[in-house]
Amino acid sequence: MMKIGILVGSLRKESLSKKFASNVAELFPEGYETEFIEIGNLPFYNQDEDNENNTRTEYTEFRNKINQLDAFLFVTPEYNRSVPAVLSNALDIGSRPYGASIWNGKPAAIISQSPGNLGGFGANHHLRQSLVCLNMPVVQQPEAYISHAATLLDENGKVNNEGTVQFLQSFVGAFVNLIDKYRG
């Protein structure tokens, strides 16, 4: 069983990113298990609170959880043409201490979404830069920028557009292929 961690870059209860992540989680084939990873409770990373004499419990618990997972799906909105602080903070916590990154070599995929035209393009590319630095192989194609995201969901938060469902299924297929390549 391959375990896929899903990290959502929005903390809003009714966030579009969470709704899209839930839809995508259902598209993984048998043999793949998804789990949403809570990142909203993580305190901002502070190296003074992360050393051999004193490591915050939240950091340790998060790292232990991430270590149990095989790959990661990041679903995020765009804040100011970049990644929300909560998502960046989770990456920082997992990449420390220096030389002991828990992200190293684990496959990843990114979906960005926006209520506007750009589909979170800036956030998607900023996140890709960080994942390259963390040595995480990332799905290259298809790229997933979901524009006008709210119009693609029904009142229950389900994707209401068959073309979008097909696209997301092809995206998951590419992610599964990447995971199999690195973890098979």
How many C-beta atoms lie closer than 10 Å to residue 130's C-beta? 17
SS3 70: coil
| Cα–Cα distance measured from residue 69 to residue 109, given in angstroms and rounded to the nearest whole number | 14
Cα angle for residues 132, 97, 43 (degrees, 5° grid): 90
Digit-by-digit pLDDT tens for the chain (184 residues) are: 999 999 999 999 999 999 999 999 999 999 999 999 999 999 999 999 999 889 999 999 999 999 999 999 999 999 999 999 999 999 999 999 889 999 999 999 999 999 888 889 999 999 999 999 999 999 999 999 999 999 999 999 999 999 999 999 999 999 999 999 997 5
Domains identified in the chain and CATH numbers: 2-183 (3.40.50.360)
SS3 115: coil
pLDDT at position 47 is: 94
pLDDT at position 184 is: 57
Query: pTM of the full predicted structure?
Result: 0.96
The DSSP output letter for 105 is: T
pLDDT at position 94 is: 97
Cα torsion at 146, 85, 107, 175 (round to 10°)?
Answer: -10
Q: What type of residue is 168? A: L
pLDDT at position 117 is: 87
pLDDT at position 70 is: 97
